[in-house]
Amino acid sequence: MGIETAPPVNGDFVTEGTFLAMPPCFPGVSLPPPADETRLRRLFQSVSGRDVFAATRGPVPHLLQFRPKGTHGYALDLGAPAGASEITALLSRASTCREIVYLACSGRGGASIHRCLTATMGQGIQEWYVDCAPYEKMLDLPVEVIEGMVGVGERIFAWGGGTGFFLTTRENGLVLEKSLQLPGILAAMEADGGTRLLSNEWKAFPLLWDSLDIGSPEKLPIHEPSPQALRLFPGGFVYADSEGRIFEWRSGALRERGRIPLLPVHAFCRLPDGRIFGSAGPEIAHWYLIGAEEERGWARDLGVPVSTLTARRYGLQFADLLEGNDGEILAAEDDRNGHLWIYFPPLNNK
């Protein structure tokens, strides 16, 4: 990379862009979940793009529905299905009226999948109302944890515990069509017009939806046994190895993009212009920027996230980052008083 020593970590607060920390409630109208139940774990984009869902971890899990834009700017606590100890995966699907959310949950009896309609969140702050639908249990699956779900048409593919499940949606629920043994799966990505499963052996397995099968894997030239963080983007993915080096897989080639000197790396997000923003650090997070592909080298330390638009709040640990529809980055704060953070990066004028 041409640099032998990491630059000093001396940022005090983020020097580029703006942060906004949103509490998981409607301030002045509703209260957030109790402390230790708002540790945001995963972020999911709704199929319409209007809402962001966040699954929390803690003594009692919660599903939060955020609508940060327009005249809304608040969050709803949708709770969790009865008996669930953790929400591990989520899939949003379109329907004739409201979107349908499928949740994979863990509990004493193992893994199960539930569904509900997304909440109706009114038309603005002066007409604020909430119409929440109850959870409906679809089926139990013979594994402890469902790690992820992906869907095409009427089918859903769920995986966990070394097993994959082909499910078909019906008006009255889900039907298990086929299960098969699989190696450890990290994520599902869209590439070359199809869906592929990325395994922890760095193999890409194509999903053959029509035949309910898995195609022959493509071995990727990657040797990292356990990435610190992994983020998919259209046509590829980026990941951090154990030393904080950031690699990008795109167009069938692996490229080293830079290195974050402060460990561990929590999560990162790649924007369409090629910039990569990430969160790292053992205690209070630092925000990092890796520039466009031609700007190879160490990641630039932008400092500690701080929001001052409502009350002053520092960002601690972030478990997940997600690109928004308008170029913003959404961040899930894994803290006993966790907030949904929105980062507005500066324009890339290069």
Residue with the bigger pLDDT between 289 and 223: it is: 289
Q: Is residue 202 part of a domain?
A: yes
pLDDT number for residue 2: 42
* Lowest model confidence (mean pLDDT) among 119-133, 141-155, 211-225, 234-248: 119-133
Residue with the bigger pLDDT between 151 and 235: it is: 151
Q: Is residue 200 part of a domain?
A: yes
Q: Which domain holds residue 288?
A: 18-344
* Lowest model confidence (mean pLDDT) among 10-19, 141-150, 306-315: 10-19
Q: Are 152 and 140 in contact (CB under 8 A)?
A: no
Alpha-carbon gap, residue 63 to 143, rounded angstroms = 22
Residue with the bigger pLDDT between 217 and 170: it is: 217
CA atoms within 13 A of residue 161's CA, in its CB half-sphere: 13
Structure-token match 């790649």, residue found: 270
Length of the chain (residues): 350
Q: Which amino acid is at 233?
A: F
From the list 273, 295, 258, 280, the residue with the least C-alpha distance to 345 is 273
pLDDT band at 96 (very low <50, low <70, confident <90, very high): confident
How many structural domains compose the chain? Answer: 1
Q: Is residue 10 part of a domain?
A: no
Q: What is the mean pLDDT of residues 308-330?
A: 89
Taking CA atoms, 2 is separated from 156, 196, 218, 277, 300, in Å, by 46, 35, 32, 21, 15
pLDDT band at 4 (very low <50, low <70, confident <90, very high): very low
Q: What is the CATH number of the domain that holds 161?
A: 2.130.10.10
Non-local CB neighbours of 181 within 8 Å, separated by 6+ positions: 162, 163, 164
Q: Is residue 49 part of a domain?
A: yes
What would the pLDDT profile of 113-161 be if each residue is shown by its tens digit? 999 988 877 655 555 666 777 899 999 999 999 999 999 989 999 999 9
Q: Is residue 5 part of a domain?
A: no
Structure-token match 């998919």, residue found: 232
Q: Is residue 7 part of a domain?
A: no
* Lowest model confidence (mean pLDDT) among 11-20, 51-60, 317-326: 11-20
CA atoms within 13 A of residue 64's CA, in its CB half-sphere: 32
Percent of the chain with pLDDT over 70: 91
Does 108 have pLDDT greater than 60?
yes
Q: What is the mean pLDDT of residues 92-118?
A: 90
Q: Which amino acid is at 33?
A: P
Q: Is residue 9 part of a domain?
A: no
- For all residues of the chain together, what is the average pLDDT? 87
From the list 33, 57, 27, 24, the residue with the least C-alpha distance to 330 is 24
Residue with the bigger pLDDT between 158 and 346: it is: 158
* Lowest model confidence (mean pLDDT) among 122-126, 154-158, 233-237, 259-263: 122-126
From the list 140, 97, 144, 139, the residue with the least C-alpha distance to 118 is 97
Alpha-carbon gap, residue 29 to 74, rounded angstroms = 10
Q: Is residue 6 part of a domain?
A: no
